[in-house]
Structure 1
Amino acid sequence: MLSLTYREIQMENRPKTAVILAMTADGKIADFQRNAARFGSNIDQNHLEKQISLVDGVLLGARTLRAFGTTVIVKDAELLANRKQNNKPSQPINIVVSASGKIADNLRFFSQPVPHWLMTTQEGTKEQTSKFEKVLTFPEIEAGKINLVEALKRLKELGLSHLAIIGGGELVANCLEQNLIDELWLTVCPYLLGGKTAPTPVEGMGFLSSHAQKLELLSLEQKEQEIFLHYKVLSV
């Protein structure tokens, strides 16, 4: 009888997850001032929209939301029809992850036609805006870091079986540290930003080389000047 890995056991109690990010050729997802990164082409935007159309929920960090002010909307008629055919609402639930709960209520995000949820701490509920239709509270595993294992377990209980994670690097790092990422879609764009403080797809403290997370390349495709990489995160 084959023994299950920790990830395989864990996946029974949480949604499937996929990180979807565009980065420069030198591995940056924004410039050194952390301005909203808009270097992806229309091809990349269509790719992102397609991936978003396949999920039940979208996780995004508070810093990413503040930088862009908006989220990704499924607009393509064929993608909308596919969601309807699969008995899904027109838009996935958008879940902002913020331990502090400090989200300005004047962001254009709140006027977009998506369900707006907040994932925060008990302390964060004192700061959150009333514009969120649902607020979920979870304990911190350390200062500023939500217990995402418990959070994703709760999302699975609420009927979400597939999540997209669209940034930023701190959220991706927290998910990796808690063994919560199954796949990555990375678009490599033909730009160089540089800067030692410019954010990358995985932020946080980082991992020792002896504990690097191993990946399996599932596909590689070039479309015009961009490279689309699809990885599986290998079980531990």
Structure 2
Amino acid sequence: MHVVVNAATSADGKLSSRKREQVAISGESDFARMDRLRAESDAIVVGVGTVLADDPHLTVKDEALCERRAKNGRPEQPARIVVDSSGRTPVDAAILDDAAPTYVCVSDDAPVDRRANLTDHANLVSAGDDRVDLLRAFAGLQEEGLERIMVEGGGELIFSLFECGLVDELRMYVGGTVIGGRDAPTLADGAGFVEDFPSLALERVERIDDGALLCWTVDEIDD
């Protein structure tokens, strides 16, 4: 499995404001790049916080890209994945429509009624006790044939994926704006590292509009 984290941040590293509402950080050129990256992927992943805040659809928008996928023998749309330990994804969320298959990763302790409701709208992947065990969940997703995974946030999920050693690439668009705020979400929230920080190798820098796309690979840690 190959996992690519893709995100857009302000110049000071924020994903959105302290209100956790969407902020226009990038423009049309970067949206098109993101759409191409989606089209290259087998599945797109977000955390439940992103679903609750933004209600994303997570589909490829360019019809030509969808047609190209179909010509190559792939589904027109990549699958969608929600990491949702307690099963909070609303059953009317856009990500649960029939545009593409959706997988919801829950913990074994997720309430039975929520699991039952989600089963009617998505494929459930149960892994971990009170929180989703990402290593187990992603192994299960790989068994479903999902090999190239694109992660779109949010910060808690991205940190957890780095913590588990699951990230292979980080592609980050840095926009020409400052959001600020100690409570505004960053690229990698969560508990944070105090040692054994993940090391990144810068592969490419590209100017896009008034910002820059930074592309890193994650260095392997020697045992």
Settle same-fold status: TM greater than 0.5.
Answer: yes
Q: Which runs of 4+ in 1 moved over 6 A?
A: none
Which position in structure 2 is the counterpart of 1:137? 126
Q: Is the 8 A contact 1:49 1:72 kept in 2?
A: no
Question: TM-score if structure 2 supplies the norm length?
Answer: 0.92
The match for 1:202 is: 188
CA distance in 1, matches of 2:72, 2:214: 27
Which of 32, 49, 63 is the equivalent residue of 2:49?
63
Cross-structure match for 2:217: 232
Partner of 2:177: 191
The match for 1:6 is: none
Q: C-alpha separation between the residues in 2 aligned to 1:97 and 1:124? A: 12
Amino acid at match of 2:202: L
Paired residues in the alignment total 218
Number of the residue aligned with 1:7: none
Q: Distance in 2 between matches of 1:107 and 1:146?
A: 20
Asked whether the 8 Å contact 2:58–2:95 carries over to 1, the reply is no
Contact kept in structure 1, 2:55 and 2:95, CA below 8 Å: yes
Q: Is the 8 A contact 1:24 1:193 kept in 2?
A: yes
1:213 is matched with 198
**Gaps (5+ residues) in structure 2?**
none
RMSD: 1.5
Pairwise CA distance, 1:146:
1.5
Equivalent residues in 2 for 1:153-168 (5 A)?
A: 153-168=139-154
Report the CA distance shift for 1:157/1:125 in structure 2 as closer, same or farther (over 3 A).
farther
Q: Given the superposition, is the C-alpha separation of residues 125 and 117 from structure 1 closer, same or farther in structure 2, using an over 3 Å criterion? A: farther
TM-score (norm 1): 0.87
SS of 1:151 mapped into structure 2: helix
| Structure 1 unmatched runs, 5+ | 1-14
Please tell me whether the aligned partners of residues 117 and 132 of structure 1 are also in contact (alpha carbons under 8 angstroms).
Answer: no
How much has 1:148 moved relative to structure 2?
0.8
